[in-house]
Structure 1
Amino acid sequence: MTLSSMDDYPVHQVAEVIRHPGTSDRNFYDRYYFNCHGGDPTLPWLIVGFGVYPNLGVTDCFAVLRHGGDHRVFRASRALGAERSDLAVGPFRIEIEQGLERLRLVLDDDNTGMSFDLTFTGISPATLEARHFQRRLDRVFIDTMRFVQTGSWSGSLTVADETFDVTPDIWRGNRDRSWGVRPVGEPEPPGRAVTETHGSFFWIYAVIACRDHSIVVLLQETSTGERVVDQTQRIWHDRDRPAEWLGRAEHTITFRPGTREPASARLVFTRPGGSVTTVECVPQLANFLGFGTGYGLEQDWRHGMWQGELEVQNSHTLVSDLDDTMKLFCPIDHLTEFTVSDGAESERHGAEHARGLFEFAVIGPHEQYGFTDYTDVAD
């Protein structure tokens, strides 16, 4: 049994060294997600992920960047050692400068077509979301916790031969940290599950950065509209104010013809007392984060899959060359303009305009929107 520097902290949860989670489930994971944007769809829209898979012995990362018509991906994987404070894979690393407040992300220039040295500083407090739990047959399929945080970015970002000065007055985004059990690594034999119809997945994850608060919407539904996860929160930037539930959420999506990509969306939150918050969503720029990053579209590179002691890869593709059919099988992260109308507050001050993330997927059948098969698209 091997110790690491983290074992010197009083953070153990089970009678094991810190490198061993409390479950031997192969699908246990622990990961970071970040996005970074300049609020303008002509600027780069960057998404970064880093994951640790203790029971698979792997750690990996990715950076996927949309800039104009370009889709650039950096990805790397290595054997996971004993040291859990080592947040580096090849030329990429994360430095935790102040827990829950400030983190630095670095991708060194190694001919990947992009590099960056960026620091994320929290604007809202890091806030826990609803626990996500599902069974498939009798096995726990998903059991995760996650926190979310909006923030600003500073530093520099280089794409091809162009370097962007990233300043916190303009460059914003959000991050999340999640851990628990969800499918990772090499695909398992489906067994009896191959005869079950559990493949539908409807998902909305919106993080809206307003002036003095952030709105976070987390929805997952079955094909019939039954909610698996349902949470709407207003997170005040003032650390002394607790987060507020905004009420039951309903959604209306208008799709781009011939796709399942949203042209616009309306989210309506209704509290038991009758007060209503309405959010109009207009996506500005799509980042197809499923392509090349490990979310399951490519069978030779999935999160947690063994790639050897160290493997570093990169790719550059035109967005127009991405397979339209494969877009139907993964969430898409949209840089989005939001208009928030919040009852009496909007009557006094008018609706608020904001930007942020609208992550969306409708995979498989969904009754509300008339999709009956996996490859149906909007008229």
Structure 2
Amino acid sequence: MTLSPLDDLPIHQAPEVMRHVATSDRNFYDRYYFNCHPGSDELMLIVGMGQYPNLGVTDAFAVVRHAHLHRVVRASRELGLDRMDTGVGPFRIEVLEGLKRLRVVLEPNEHGLSFDLTWTGAIPATLEPRHFVRWQERVIFDSVRMAQTGHWSGSIVLDSRTIPVDTWMGTRDRSWGIRPVGEPEPPGIQVKNPGTFYWLYAPMQFEDHAILCIVQEDEKGRRVLEEAVRVWSDGREEEYLGRPEYHPVYAPGTRDVVEATITIGKIEVRCTPILPVHLMVGTGYGLEPGWKHGMYQGSEPVVEGVTYTLPEDADRMWGMVDAVGRFEYDGQVGHGLFEYWALGPHPSFT
């Protein structure tokens, strides 16, 4: 065992040094996710950084959607001994005030995207339900996540154009636990998995509160995970609003959502995705065989850029969609993340 700076803090959870996690599961991860937008169809920026202690890797990405542009900058390195070091190439994340203020930086680089942004939470960080999925005897997901809506300040530089960011909106989450990461494993009996991922994740930001909503169902329409909670800026939390019911409307011949209704008890929220970002394209979430979260890219740090344009590259744009969403209920209008994916069989498609 080797010590690291974390071991000087009274935070141990197991008879191990802090750089080692309490499980030997290769798929353990610890990740940041942020999105940033002005509440319009002008631009959306998504940033992520993860550590994969049992794979010895850390990586980061940023993707921006602006007009017809889909641009990604991504970086990877060996994790090393110090898990307090969040730098990955030109990326770094600084916790300025725990659960409240963070700084997210992508230093200038050759790939045409950089930023220096400060996040301030608008509601208390909120712990979501534990996400647990066992399939064919293997635990596929066992993770927890905290979520928060808030505001951004700073600037984004895109192709030499500086875009001021002043009280832009966004959501962030921190999740850790077990989920598929790294190089593909031999499927074994998992080859029988139907491959369904029917998912809605909608953190909605209103003037003085947020609604955090999650729906996941399996191939038979059974609930795997659900959440519907209203959190007020002053810290009040309504933990049970009712069972969320999700009713999307798809563009003809596709599974692209054009509008949706979420009913939560007596609340009916009308949802409109106004700027879709294809989260899985170039970022490491799973479409490129050579670049996945936690995948070892070699002993030397790697920084890459990927640029696509629409509609020319529309055939690449599939998978999970993270859209800027417009949300309306009871005369109130808010914005936030409208994240969805409808993959594989599900009763709503029969």
Question: TM-score per shorter chain, which class?
Answer: over 0.9
Unaligned runs of 5+ in 2: none
Moved more, 159-168 or 62-71: 159-168
The whole-number CA distance in structure 1 between the counterparts of 2:31 and 2:96 is: 17
Give the counterpart letter for 2:40 in structure 1: D
Structure 2 residue 196 is matched with structure 1 residue 200: yes
Give the counterpart letter for 1:204 in structure 2: L
Q: 2:172 aligns with which of 163, 171, 175?
A: 175
1:220 paired residue number: 216
* Contact 2:194-2:344 within 8 A present in 1 as well: no
What is the SS of the residue equivalent to 1:299? coil
User: How much has 1:368 moved relative to structure 2?
Assistant: 1.4
* Contact 2:58-2:78 within 8 A present in 1 as well: yes
User: How much has 1:256 moved relative to structure 2?
Assistant: 1.2
What is the SS of the residue equivalent to 2:347? coil
Q: 1:251 aligns with which of 239, 246, 250?
A: 246
The whole-number CA distance in structure 2 between the counterparts of 1:31 and 1:145 is: 11
What is the SS of the residue equivalent to 2:311? helix
2:325 paired residue number: 336
Deviation digits for residues 141-175 of structure 1, max 9, x if unmatched? 1000000001100001111121111112xx01010
1:273 paired residue number: none
User: How much has 1:321 moved relative to structure 2?
Assistant: 3.1
Give the counterpart letter for 1:235 in structure 2: V
What is the SS of the residue equivalent to 1:368? helix
Structure 2 residue 348 is matched with structure 1 residue 357: no
User: After superposition, where does 1:12-51 map in structure 2 within 5 Å?
Assistant: 12-42=12-42, 44-51=43-50
Give the counterpart letter for 1:333 in structure 2: D
The whole-number CA distance in structure 1 between the counterparts of 2:66 and 2:239 is: 35
Aligned residues: 349
Structure 1 vs Structure 2: percent identity of aligned residues?
51
Structure 2 residue 71 is matched with structure 1 residue 72: yes
What is the SS of the residue equivalent to 2:213? strand
2:146 paired residue number: 147
Give the counterpart letter for 1:284 in structure 2: I
User: How much has 1:325 moved relative to structure 2?
Assistant: 6.8
What is the SS of the residue equivalent to 1:112? coil
Structure 2 residue 102 is matched with structure 1 residue 103: yes
2:270 paired residue number: 280
* Contact 1:69-1:319 within 8 A present in 2 as well: yes
Distance 1:7 1:305, change over 3 A: same
The whole-number CA distance in structure 2 between the counterparts of 1:221 and 1:292 is: 26
User: After superposition, where does 1:111-126 map in structure 2 within 5 Å?
Assistant: 111-126=110-125
Give the counterpart letter for 2:207 in structure 1: R
2:127 paired residue number: 128
The whole-number CA distance in structure 2 between the counterparts of 1:326 and 1:136 is: 28
The whole-number CA distance in structure 2 between the counterparts of 1:3 and 1:258 is: 56
TM-score w.r.t. the length of structure 2 is 0.97
Structure 2 residue 266 is matched with structure 1 residue 266: no
The whole-number CA distance in structure 2 between the counterparts of 1:354 and 1:205 is: 15
User: How much has 1:39 moved relative to structure 2?
Assistant: 1.2
2:183 paired residue number: 186
User: How much has 1:225 moved relative to structure 2?
Assistant: 1.2
2:51 paired residue number: 52
2:346 paired residue number: 366
Give the counterpart letter for 1:265 in structure 2: A
The whole-number CA distance in structure 1 between the counterparts of 2:341 and 2:164 is: 32
- Root-mean-square deviation (CA, aligned residues, Å) is 1.1
1:374 paired residue number: none
TM-score w.r.t. the length of structure 1 is 0.90
The whole-number CA distance in structure 1 between the counterparts of 2:317 and 2:219 is: 20
* Contact 1:136-1:198 within 8 A present in 2 as well: no
User: How much has 1:3 moved relative to structure 2?
Assistant: 1.2
What is the SS of the residue equivalent to 1:66? strand
User: How much has 1:298 moved relative to structure 2?
Assistant: 0.5
Structure 1 segments, 4+ long, off by >4 Å, are: none
The whole-number CA distance in structure 2 between the counterparts of 1:325 and 1:303 is: 19
The whole-number CA distance in structure 2 between the counterparts of 1:325 and 1:134 is: 29
The whole-number CA distance in structure 2 between the counterparts of 1:242 and 1:354 is: 18
Give the counterpart letter for 1:26 in structure 2: R
User: After superposition, where does 1:306-317 map in structure 2 within 5 Å?
Assistant: 306-308=296-298, 309-317=300-308
2:315 paired residue number: 324
Q: 1:232 aligns with which of 228, 238, 246?
A: 228
Unaligned runs of 5+ in 1: 271-275, 342-350, 371-379
* Contact 1:297-1:326 within 8 A present in 2 as well: no
